[in-house]
Amino acid sequence: MRKSMLFFGFLLVFLGLALPGAQGKRISRCDLVKILRQNGFEGFVGKTVADWVCLVQHESSYNTRAFNNNGPSRDYGIFQINSQYWCDDGRTRGSKNACRTSCSKFQDDNIKDDIQCAKKIAQEAKGLTPWYAWRDHCRGRNLNSYVRGC
């Protein structure tokens, strides 16, 4: 009994230390503004950096390891890139993998590949309409607050 309680206590401590790292890196709003500006998002497909920051806030809450299971497909990373069309997760049947990469690459803290794929998505769509969060929370709204102070 004593050994099992000690093991259980150790397990709780281990999980408490391990889980925060599994949650991913949250990029601050102003750091994201800087990254997006450096990567040519201002004016890209006729949208502002504020549009992109709004999209990211509502898609992933700035979390590089965000994941959403949509049933037959899944969304990965800070831009919530979908496995049906844009990446290969090894589970989505008939994935187009148009960005020619593994979906797991969109869940690390290096968002260079996320940026390349997000730009490809936006360029093919001629805007941000593929992202439901942008359509529902950002389109047609004053988004100045997303870049204010950055």
Structure tokens at 101: 């990469």
Q: What is the pLDDT of residues 42-86, one digit of tens each?
A: 999 999 999 999 999 999 999 999 999 988 999 999 999 999 999
Q: Longest Cα pair distance anywhere in the chain, in angstroms?
A: 65
Is the pLDDT confidence value at 1 over 60?
A: no
- To the query of whether residue 124 is one of the catalytic residues in this protein, the response is no
Phi-psi region of 109 (alpha: psi -120 to 50; beta: other; left: phi over 0): alpha
Q: How do beta strands 67-69 and 74-76 pair?
A: antiparallel
pLDDT at 23: 60
pTM beyond 0.85: the answer is: no
- To the query of whether residue 59 is one of the catalytic residues in this protein, the response is yes
Catalytic residue, candidates 75, 89, 109, 136: 75
Is the pLDDT confidence value at 22 over 90?
A: no
Is the pLDDT confidence value at 127 over 80?
A: yes
Burial class (CB in 10 A: 0-12, 13-18, 19+), 26: middle
Q: What is the mean pLDDT of residues 8-13?
A: 35
CATH class, domain 24-146, is mainly alpha
Domain layout of the chain by residue ranges: 24-146
Q: What is the mean pLDDT of residues 25-33?
A: 96
Catalytic residue, candidates 31, 42, 51, 59: 59
DSSP bridge pairs for 83: none
Whole-number Å distance between alpha carbons of 77 and 67: 6
